[in-house]
Every structure is written in structure tokens, then in C-alpha cells.
Amino acid sequence: MSVNRTALSTLESPRSGRDKSRREELLRTWLVKFSANHQAQGREPAVTEETLPIFLSLWAEGFADVPDEQLEQAFILTLQTCKFFPTVADIRGQLDTKRKALAENEVEDVWQRILEYVNEWCHPDGITTFGAVRPVLTSKEDHALRAAGGSGHLWGCPTDKRVWAKKAFVEDYMRQDEVFKAENVLGPGEILRRLTGALPTLPPANPDWEKKYPPPAGPQNLPKLAVVKTPPEPFPVLTEEEWERRKQEQRDKVCEWVATHPEIESK
């Protein structure tokens, strides 16, 4: 088979004087590689000088949402596995495969962290390590944990039944990126906070209201009396004469009382 070398030379050497972006250079380079790969298998280059602008426009539109680094990795995997000239779907399939593998590794690490979190902080009796700071789960982790039955269910879940809890956790965790974003879903605490904040607030008090309508008289409106605390008098120091006089006074009172009670003397 003849080889269309004009097409390859056109791909490898863009027209001079044209400023190419990095994305266009990346697409152009890999179009060359894929064309050379299929040429080595005895096929004509899939990209020619006439079809080059069409391929560049098609690939630029098909990979517009893919970063350059991820796209280049997908090109490498496609070159190693694809037996024919790849389509946009073939290359994006490599992206999906790698993204799924990375997601599975990520969710396995997250599951292990959730188990540690539940064992440490979700004891039914509230037993925790003294002085430790409770970690905060992300919205994505919290939603997947509730999908698995919640922390209370997971703490006391037997090992043989924990497999099903993990299955529910993984499915919910990976489905969030495809169906919805967990950070946009309000948790129970956030719902309560927003409902409480949505209650109508009373208008500010009118300063002239109390002048027009004074409060009724009552115990709560009586003026408060000032409490005056007088210091206690110091204990007097008795002289010797005063001490003897008081003792004699007490003796006289006792004798007078005995004189008025004769029965005391008979006893």
C-alpha cells in the first residue's frame, strides 16, 4: 500500500505564521501518532491534509471539557490498547475507565476513614477520647453515611451485614458526582437552622409607646429600696471593775430566784 507522506508532513509541520494554542498542538501531535501507528499496520493514514481541519475541529469539540493533562494520559492509554484509529468515544472511554478506577480507590479510603470515625466518635454511651477534637465530615461523606444507615447502625452492625452497608455507602458516594452534589443537599441540622432563621422577627419597639401606654402598677414596677448595710459594733472590752459588777449582779438574781422558790432549799 502506498503511504500518503504529504498528509503526515502536513500534520507534523503546521503552517508557519499561525499561532497555535497548546490544545491544538496537543491534538495535532496525537493525530500524527495515531496516523503513524495505523500506517505501520499497513493502512493508509486516517488523517490527510484535506481531513485534518475536520479532525481538529471534531476533537476540539469532543474534548472541550477535558484538561490537557488528563487528555494526554487518555491518548497514551488509547495508543496502547486500541487496535484501530480511535474515535472520540474510544478516547473518552479511557477517561471514564481511569476516572472510575480512581473513584473506587478514593471511596475505599473514605470508607476506612468513616469506620474509624464511627468507632471513635459514635459510641452509643458517648465514650470518646478525652481532649480529642471531633472531625467534621464533608457533605458528600455525611450523605453517604446516612445512606448506609447512619452512624448508629454502622457502629453496632455485625461484620457479615456490614458488607451491605458498605455497598450502599459506595453506591451513594459514587452516584453523587453523576446525579447531584451533596453540598447542595441540606442536612438535618442545616434545615433546622434555616427554618429557625426563617421565622418572622418582631419589629423594633416604638420609643413613644411606653409614654402613651405606661405599664400598669404592680410589684414589678415598684421602686427598689436601697439596702443599707451597717457594720457590726465592735465587741466591748470590759474592765476589771465592770467584770466584777456583772458577776455580782448575776449572783443577786440567782439568790432572789431561790428565795422565791423555797422548795429548792428543801431538796
- pLDDT tens track, the chain, 267 positions: 334 444 444 444 443 334 357 888 888 888 888 888 776 555 555 677 788 888 888 888 888 888 888 888 888 888 888 888 888 888 888 888 877 777 778 888 888 888 888 888 887 766 666 556 778 888 888 888 888 888 888 888 888 888 899 888 888 888 876 665 555 565 555 666 676 666 666 666 666 766 666 666 655 556 666 666 777 777 778 888 988 998 999 999 988 888 887 776 655
Residue 113 CB: number of other CB atoms within 10 A? Answer: 13
Q: CB-based contacts of 60: which residues, under 8 Å, 6+ apart?
A: 23, 24, 27
Question: How many whole angstroms separate alpha carbon 265 and alpha carbon 243?
Answer: 29
Give me the helix-helix angle, 159-179 and 139-147, nearest 10°: 130
Per-residue burial over 184-200, b if 16 or more Cβ lie within 10 Å, else e, is: eeeeeeeeeeeeeeeee
Distance of CA 130 to the CA centre of its chain: 22
Length of the chain: 267
Q: Is the pTM for the entire model greater than 0.95?
A: no
